[in-house]
Amino acid sequence: MKTNIVSVKYEDRYMPKTFSGKAYSYFTAIPLEVGDLVVAPTSNGKKLQEYQL
């Protein structure tokens, strides 16, 4: 099984559909394209993120 390291940014809690701030990296086996929306775990539960290159 091939895995990739992806970089994502969290959705701004005050401006929905806006993704900014620090990028975080995750391992995934799911094929993704730049701009895909993903749900990733956080310390406060799952949160919507946008996949960055």
pLDDT in tens, 11-38: 787 887 788 888 888 888 888 888 888 8
Confidence check: pLDDT of 48 > 70: no
DSSP states of 14-41:
SSTT-EEEEEEEEEE-S---TT-EEEEE
Model confidence, pTM = 0.62
Confidence check: pLDDT of 44 > 80: no
- Pick the more confident residue, 53 or 6: 6
Is the CB of residue 28 less than 8 Å from the CB of residue 21?
A: no
Angle, CA of 27, 33 and 35, to the nearest 5°: 100
R_g of the chain, CA atoms, integer Å: 11
pLDDT of res. 26: 86
Is the CB of residue 12 less than 8 Å from the CB of residue 49?
A: no
